[in-house]
Amino acid sequence: MALSKTYEDLLVGDEASISRLLTPDDLYVFAHASGNLNPVHMPSEDGAEWDEKTPVPSMLLGSMFSAVLGNILPGPGTLYHSQDLNFLGRARVGDTVTVSLTVIEKNGDNKVSFRTRILRGEEMLVDGVAIVHPPRVGREIGHAILPALTIARHRHVARLLDACENLPPTPTAIVAPEDESSLRGPVEAAKANLIRPLLIGDAARIHAVAAEHGIDLGGIEIEDLASHDAAAARAVEMVHQGRAKAVMKGLLHTDELLRHVVKSQGGLRTGRRISHVFVMDVPYLDDLVLVTDAAINIAPTIEDKVDITQNAIDLAIALGIVQPKVGVLSAVETVNLKIQSSMDAAILAKMADRGQISGGLVDGPLAMDNAISLSAAKTKGLVSLVAGRADVLVVPNLEAGNILAKDLTFAAQAEGAGIVLGAKVPVLLTSRADDAAARLFSCVTAVLYEAWLRTGTSVVPPARN
């Protein structure tokens, strides 16, 4: 609780201060609130994060005096009359600054002058004088309840994109790229040197879409096949010929593509069951989270879930997660004989303990809250290396996974990549509703996974254990 001081209460020499760590999120919020989009204070065009050289807007620093004046001294009820500021140095992202006020004069007419300073250690960054009207009556307030803010930036996408920098572009067969997003995504990925697209589909439609939306197809190979079925078959054939190291879905139904991927003769099957993973960059989570299976296996058996889990662990390792933590989801976090998903989760966890699933830590059953929230896990008394820290979420069935992935995308503002695993090459199974950014993220994921398949080593610096 804070009790404000009136004009009569204030004495020359009274002082107050706060300390503040300057973060990238502060710059985003200030840009939105002020409308200041000066690129000096924004991330680079290639999506890189801010670093210690990024200057903080000077008026962001100036605004911090308001927090001390309004909350501490004089406190609630204070109104600004004027403020002069001298900016003597530049604050940077990552700095901790001290914002301080000292009463220097009582001016009469209910006005008080404060010296206002911001320091980084001993270095003065801002100096000035504020004149304010203190409250005429002391007021006491508690902590204000403000709406929470989530900064929807996708820092993990940028981190993975950086990891692809020294990799050669992956030859990728794009099946039926016949609308703007399914064509623009691979073209943008080619510009980023992620893939070398081989466009397979109705050439006239592809050219028409490119012309309508200003997409440059210069230097990109196009194979003219009017039928989606024929285009899907040709993409699989290109893999067998060694011309393609990945396949990407365009404007066709998933079944039309996967029919050729999974066929027993001439398909792309391996000894492991094919499954789908959504790689999600969720703004409020510290790391990537992988959701599986949300697109292929409708009601997986426990045998299916073994391969689904192993596929996801392999992908997580390829994306730089050294020992993925796998939470097997159910509606509850205890084994219930009437809930099959809880039984499956317990079996998978024990199979991982016995080495039948390798490369990650597997625990379950876990409910969604205690899989990703440490506070929820602690509240429910769970003792687990996975609970609250899960990198991979294995869902009970396709319906649950699809709902979860789309909830993260549309309600939590996640950026998602879709990829099919367990085939001879990665298959980028993007949704027809995905925009070009999501397709680019899928390309990044596929390139990193293909490199891991080829070399057995991840090129992504570890994010966390």
The answer to whether 318 and 280 are in contact (CB under 8 A) is no
Q: Are 50 and 95 in contact (CB under 8 A)?
A: no
Q: Are 290 and 282 in contact (CB under 8 A)?
A: no
How far is 296 from 293, CA to CA, in rounded Å?
7
On whether the CB atoms of residues 283 and 151 are closer than 8 A, the answer is yes
158: pLDDT confidence band, cut at 50, 70 and 90? confident
Average pLDDT over residues 79-86: 96
Average pLDDT over every residue of 7-26: 93
Residue type, 334: T
CA-based nearest residue to 177, from 426, 417, 430: 430
Model confidence at 316: pLDDT above 60: yes
Question: Do the two domains 2-141 and 155-324+391-455 of this chain adopt the same fold?
Answer: no
pLDDT top residue among 201 and 436:
201
Identify residue 170 by its one-letter amino acid code: T
pLDDT of residue 50: 54
Question: pLDDT band for position 463 (50/70/90)?
Answer: low
Model confidence at 68: pLDDT above 90: yes
Give tens-digit pLDDT for 28-57: 899 999 999 888 887 654 444 555 678 999
355 — pLDDT class (breaks 50, 70, 90): very high
Radius of gyration from C-alpha coordinates of the chain: 28
Residue 432 is predicted with a pLDDT of 64
Average pLDDT, the chain: 91
Quick one: pLDDT at residue 154? 74
Say if residue 88's pLDDT is above 80: yes
pLDDT at position 156 is 82
Q: Which tokens sit at 127?
A: 């100096």
pLDDT tier for residue 365 given thresholds of 50, 70 and 90: very high
**Adjacent-strand bridge partners of 393:** 291, 327
pLDDT confidence bin for 410, thresholds 50/70/90: confident
Shortest CA distance to 173 belongs to which of 214, 209, 208, 225? 225
Range ranked top by mean pLDDT from 139-143, 155-159, 389-393, 461-465:
389-393
Residue type, 69: L
Residue 275 near residue 308 (C-beta atoms within 8 A): yes
Where are the chain's structural domains?
A: 2-141, 155-324+391-455
pLDDT digits (tens, 9 = 90+) for 247-256: 999 999 989 9
The answer, yes or no, to whether residue 142 has pLDDT greater than 70, is no
Taking residue 265's Cβ as centre, other Cβ atoms within 10 Å add up to 5
| Rounded Cα gap, residues 17 and 116, in angstroms | 10
Are β-strands 221-224 and 195-201 bridged in parallel, bridged antiparallel, or unpaired? parallel
The CATH number of the domain covering residues in 155-324+391-455: 3.40.718.10
Torsion sign over Cα 386, 388, 389, 391:
positive
For residue 319, the model assigns a pLDDT of 95
Residue bearing the bigger pLDDT, 17 or 39: 17
Comparing 149-158, 318-327, 349-358, 363-372, the range with the smallest average pLDDT is: 149-158
Query: Quick one: pLDDT at residue 279?
Result: 95
**Structure confidence at residue 45 (pLDDT):** 42
Q: Is 380 left (phi over 0), alpha (psi -120 to 50) or beta?
A: alpha
pLDDT for the residue numbered 43: 63
Q: Which residues contact 128 (CB under 8 A, 6 or more apart)?
A: 62, 83, 84, 85, 86, 115, 116, 117
Give residue 334's pLDDT. Answer: 93
Tokens of 200: 């397979």
Peptide bond into 281 cis (omega under 30): no
Structure-model confidence comparison of residues 266 and 314, the more confident one: 314
What confidence tens digit (pLDDT) does each residue in 212-249 have?
999 999 999 999 998 999 999 999 999 999 999 999 99
**CATH of the domain spanning 2-141, picked from 3.10.129.10, 3.10.20.30, 3.40.640.10, 3.40.50.300:** 3.10.129.10
Among 61-70, 140-149, 366-375, where is mean pLDDT lowest? 140-149
Percent of the chain's residues with pLDDT above 70: 94
Q: Would you state the pLDDT for residue 49?
A: 54
Percent of the chain with pLDDT over 90: 72
